[in-house]
């Protein structure tokens, strides 16, 4: 079984709109922190946003987001 400690493969994130909103919020927060002169917080939120882009859009597999309890056996 694959580990998912951040629960990024929860069925909540299956619709593309939710993934776009969460990723965009992290990247926008990073941009806001950069504009306010907080380089450390900016780097943190931009790197979280970059990781979300990788997980939600580059490595996306809809089967990872299906609820395991609903699988017919």
Domain assignment present for residue 5? The answer is no
- Whole-number mean pLDDT of the chain? 88
Give the number of domains in the chain.
Answer: 1
Nearest to 34 by CA among 42, 22, 26: 42
Q: What percent of the chain has pLDDT over 90?
A: 60
What confidence score (pLDDT) does residue 5 get?
75
Residue holding tokens 């450390």? 40
pTM score, whole prediction? 0.82
User: For residue 35, what are the domain limits?
Assistant: 26-59
24-36 pLDDT, tens digit each: 999 999 999 999 9
Domain assignment present for residue 47? The answer is yes
Domain assignment present for residue 50? The answer is yes
Q: Provide the token pair at 55.
A: 């997980």
What confidence score (pLDDT) does residue 2 get?
67
Domain assignment present for residue 11? The answer is no
- Quickly state the pLDDT bin for 67 (edges 50, 70, 90): confident
45: Cβ contacts below 8 Å, ≥ 6 apart? 26, 27, 29, 30, 33
Domain assignment present for residue 55? The answer is yes
């Amino acid at each position: 079984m694959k580990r998912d400690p951040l629960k990024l493969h929860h069925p909540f994130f299956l619709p593309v709109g939710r993934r776009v909103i969460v990723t965009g919020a992290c990247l926008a927060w990073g941009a806001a922190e950069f504009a306010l002169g907080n380089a450390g917080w900016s780097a943190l939120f931009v790197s979280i946003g970059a990781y979300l882009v990788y997980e939600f859009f580059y490595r996306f597999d809809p089967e990872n987001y299906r609820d395991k309890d609903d699988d017919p056996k």
